[in-house]
Amino acid sequence: MRRNGFDLTVCAVCLALLGFFGWHGLHGKRSFSKQQALLQQVAELEEKRDSIRARRESLERRVTLLRPENIDADMLEEMARKMLGFTKSNEIVVSE
């Protein structure tokens, strides 16, 4: 008789634990249903990372044109005119 009561208690505890973990697996903070939202967020962040990386590479190319060992005359003139505000009378200034 005592053995039956112990078996029922163990079975009830196991079912309660199974229900607890099952519920959290389906509806919890890190559940299977949240996985799609996380994958969407990962895709958005990767897209943002790629655009930032492209912008950085663009800026790096512009910086290499201003290095003393291989300075680009057009880039230097553009930077000087922009910083000093010098333009000719027939020029239109377009800045970024």
Assess whether 62 and 78 both reside in one domain: yes
* pLDDT reading at 79 higher than 70: yes
Confidence band, pLDDT 50/70/90 cuts, at residue 48: very high
Residue 96 within a domain = no
Q: CA 66, CA 59: separation in Å to the nearest integer? A: 11
Assess whether 83 and 40 both reside in one domain: yes
pLDDT at 53: 97
Domain count, the chain: 2
Residue 11 within a domain = yes
Assess whether 39 and 76 both reside in one domain: yes
Residue 93 within a domain = no
pTM score, two decimals? 0.51
Question: Domain range for residue 80?
Answer: 34-88
